[in-house]
Amino acid sequence: MAEPEHGEGQAKAADAVSVAPENGTTDPALLSEDEAASRMAALVDLLERANLDYHQKDAPTISDAEYDRAKRELQALEEAFPQLARADSPTGQVGAAPSEAFGKITHAQRMMSLANAFAAEEIDEFTARIRSFLGLAPGAELDFTAEPKIDGLSLSLRYEAGQLTQAATRGDGAVGENVTANALTIPDIPHQLRGNPPEILEVRGEVYMSHADFAALNAGEGARVFANPRNAAAGSLRQLDPEITRARPLKFFAYAWGEVSAPLAATQMGAVEKLAGFGFQTNPLTALCRDSAEMVAHWQAIEAQRSSLGYDIDGVVYKVNDLALQARLGFRSTTPRWAIAHKFPAETAWTRLRDIEIQVGRTGALSPVARLDPVTVGGVTVSNATLHNEDYIAGINSTGERIRDTDIRIGDWVKVYRAGDVIPKVSEVDEAKRPAEAVPYRFPDSCPECGSAAIREPGDAVRRCTGGLICPAQAIEKLKHFVSRGAFDIEGLGARQIEAFYRDETLPIRAPADIFTLRARDAAALGKLKNRDGWGETSASNLFDAIDARREIALNRLIYALGIRHVGEGAASDLARHFVSWNSLVTTLDAAIPAAERHLEADEAILQERAAAAEEGRRARISATRDAVLAQAPDLPEAARQAYDELISIDGIGAVVAQSLCATFAQAKERASIDALVAQLTVEDAKIAATAGSPVAGKTVVFTGTLEKMTRAEAKARAEALGAKVAGSVSAKTDLLVAGPGAGSKATKAAELGVEVIDEDAWLTLIG
């Protein structure tokens, strides 16, 4: 079974500042469905690019704790409003695309991530969820392993007949960088395994550097100074010259495995002991725990000796010990259900807030960034921090509740914290040290880049520029996103080049299609690119060739590259799997636009009635329901209703994503830009890998009612493992409805649409 990786710190771009409240996640019970949809959309929007700096550049830019807090809020909202859950949430992303500097290796089994916990109560919830999923009685035995979470770089080692044949970094979880030559220089990594290992064995673990070796490396004459051991380890392993890696004091802990030709053991602990027997270093602090109380006690014991370990850890990882139970529990999109990382508290320091700057992101979000007097936090000097949004600066959360005694002002003495090598977050203010001249910060209501109005929609914590394509900040950020690793990934056309071309008057790049006409425009121009400063004949020719190499693009990468709000890599992949071709997607979106607009009108009517009720100080029943508004639209074509229903029935694609897609394709300028781009491309259909022999591979399945022989979560996991697509609602595209006792509206709709309906026993017989 593929194991998750421990080095799972997350980061996000500086222009996408978190909006999670200080005192934990937003209480879903306080939000309406519309408010929850807006809140979830804002969280996805700011987190979707969070992995890039950490995993690609080995230089994260914001705190693990801050990322985790926003992610936890999103997860809580997804659980409370499952109909709004989308696959492009942070839980649907692992790592970032591998660098082109190395060859690529496709992992035989995907390298997974880990869910996080921060309080003892969450560990109780974790064990309770597992017992519920498995249907275990309260007193049934359930053991867990607990081991330190190493803060290093994940590495996968493939052995065949006991011989190391290849080594790969995590990359984006599916494809990593080939660092075999470098891995062979690390003393802790055996070239030939001892004992009697399986014919094929994929060992996974963490490359790290000890504190002493890190200090010695940084003290070397003329040496590059690394920010921390994790960056030093990552930079050392990802060297093009293996001799540089050999000179760096790297170490390796093994704790997991991917593909194996024969089982290692029946338990997690037994498998780790087998890895030690093969010649790997395993962590001696790994322990077996019988319940959550013992798990938390071991976490406390490890935290107490954290400073004396000699290497960086940022928490403890718990895993179900029984591997058969791990197999039953299975995986979510990128994390296992049977493991969780219990993080340590963040480190803190006090410093002066010198200024607040506003950055504008590609979706128009105005994000405040604190400029601080440099301060050392946990051994790292930091001078920038996130301030989330205007509510956070004012000291309140999204529901208007106070999260801090005072607001944040320029000149304040503020408390910041960090977890790992990341930019910190401002958490507290020392009012006693506030300068007399300090005044409340006034958040701008216009875009600092283009002057357009910056509005804040109901339920959204973020203020956004309305300038769209006329806003240079949004245009430039969208182009940067377009050429990023997860999108078109054009070699030689990075952020710096995009900024230069955008402002160029002779060979401008103002829209994605301009990239693919660059060679032809250069040929017709008097001033050639090759004659400009910083360019030459070779570099210009290489750029044109790199652009031409991306004229063939996978459907999911094209969808993601468009930078449509709320559509991250996960949602793009889900859309590609469902529609298979670009033409099919566009045809459905065009048909769905009228229905999406009516749904949006319904949402606005509900918000207006709720706002009026709030102003009158009453808790009125909202009569302007979505169905009521839609019922008043008899002119709405049935084809539009069906197309929209198809969109929102895709598992992970809810109303927010569907409306965002339709709104983009309905805008004349946006649509013209997209059409001009696609005219330059060959869009590859999505490749759907059907599960061999599965009777449900490629079929869309919906579960409803009460399942009696397995939990709903287990049923969904098994269906997906067999190649089925599990949808949240019934539509004309549904192939099969599995209905347990208590099935209601979904069964009725299935009967109306002629969808096949079977019970749980028939489902179990069908899947064998």
DSSP per residue over 262-331, as a string? S---SBHHHHHHHHHHTT----TT-EEESSHHHHHHHHHHHHHTGGGSSS-EEEEEEEESBHHHHHHH-B
Rounded CA separation 132/711 (Å): 8
Going from N- to C-terminal start, the domains of the chain cover 94-343, 556-684, 700-767
Report which of 744, 738, 725 is spatially closest to residue 764, judged by C-alpha positions: 738
Nearest 5°: phi and psi at 631? -65, -25
| 204, 224, 441, 536, 729 from 60: Cα distances, Å | 23, 18, 28, 32, 39
- Per residue in 396-414, pLDDT (tens digit) is 987 778 888 899 999 999 9
- % helix, strand, coil for the chain, step of 5: 40, 20, 40
Active site residue 749: no
Q: Which run of H or E residues covers position 372? A: strand 366-377
- Strand 339-343 relative to strand 116-117: parallel, antiparallel, unpaired? parallel
Rounded CA separation 360/694 (Å): 48
Predicted pLDDT of residue 137: 85
What lies within 8 Å, CB to CB, of 157 at 6+ separation is 164, 166, 167, 183, 189, 202, 203, 204, 205
Which position has the token pair 């690394």? Answer: 226
Report which of 477, 374, 346 is spatially closest to residue 9, judged by C-alpha positions: 346
| DSSP state letter for 699 | -
| DSSP state letter for 248 | S
HSE of 107, CA atoms in CB hemisphere, 13 A? 30
Query: CA 596 from chain center: how many Å?
Result: 26
CATH architecture of 94-343: 2-Layer Sandwich (3.30)
Predicted pLDDT of residue 520: 95
Predicted pLDDT of residue 611: 59
Nearest 5°: phi and psi at 725? -105, 120
Query: Residues of 184-218 as b/e, b for ≥16 C-beta within 10 angstroms?
Result: ebbebbbeebeeebbebbbbbbbbbbbbebbeebe
Report which of 485, 398, 566 is spatially closest to residue 171, judged by C-alpha positions: 485
Predicted pLDDT of residue 395: 92
Rounded CA separation 351/428 (Å): 11
Rounded CA separation 695/137 (Å): 33
Catalytic residue among 12, 149, 480, 725, which?
149
First to last CA, the chain: 21
HEC string of 581-621 equals CHHHHHHHHHHHHHHHHHHHHHHHHHHHHHHHHHHCCCCCC
Two structure tokens written together for 24:
């934990």
Report which of 155, 320, 369 is spatially closest to residue 252, judged by C-alpha positions: 155
Two structure tokens written together for 140:
């049934």
Residue ranges in the chain whose pLDDT is less than 70: 1-36, 38, 41-42, 44-70, 79, 81-101, 221-224, 333, 378-380, 419-423, 469, 603-634, 688-692
Predicted pLDDT of residue 224: 66
Given a contact cutoff of 8 angstroms between Cβ atoms, the answer to whether 459 and 41 are in contact is no
Given a contact cutoff of 8 angstroms between Cβ atoms, the answer to whether 272 and 286 are in contact is yes
Please name every residue paired with 381 in a beta bridge, in sequence order, or none if there are none. 376
Two structure tokens written together for 576:
């590609």
- Per residue in 743-758, pLDDT (tens digit) is 778 888 888 889 999 9
3-state secondary structure of 104: strand
CATH architecture of 700-767: 3-Layer(aba) Sandwich (3.40)
Rounded CA separation 164/203 (Å): 10
Predicted pLDDT of residue 183: 95
Report which of 326, 273, 270, 299 is spatially closest to residue 112, judged by C-alpha positions: 326
pTM listed for this prediction: 0.57
Report which of 721, 700, 688, 736 is spatially closest to residue 581, judged by C-alpha positions: 688
Nearest 5°: phi and psi at 545? -65, -40
Given a contact cutoff of 8 angstroms between Cβ atoms, the answer to whether 205 and 256 are in contact is yes
Predicted pLDDT of residue 616: 60
| DSSP state letter for 178 | B
Rounded CA separation 307/238 (Å): 27
HEC string of 439-480 equals CCCCCCCECCCCCCEEECCCCCCCCEECCHHHCHHHHHHHHH
Strands lying side by side in the sheet with 153-160: 163-169, 153-160, 200-208, 251-260
Nearest 5°: phi and psi at 455? -110, 160
Q: Which run of H or E residues covers position 638? A: helix 638-649
- Rg (Cα) of the chain, in Å, rounded? 27
Rounded CA separation 281/259 (Å): 20
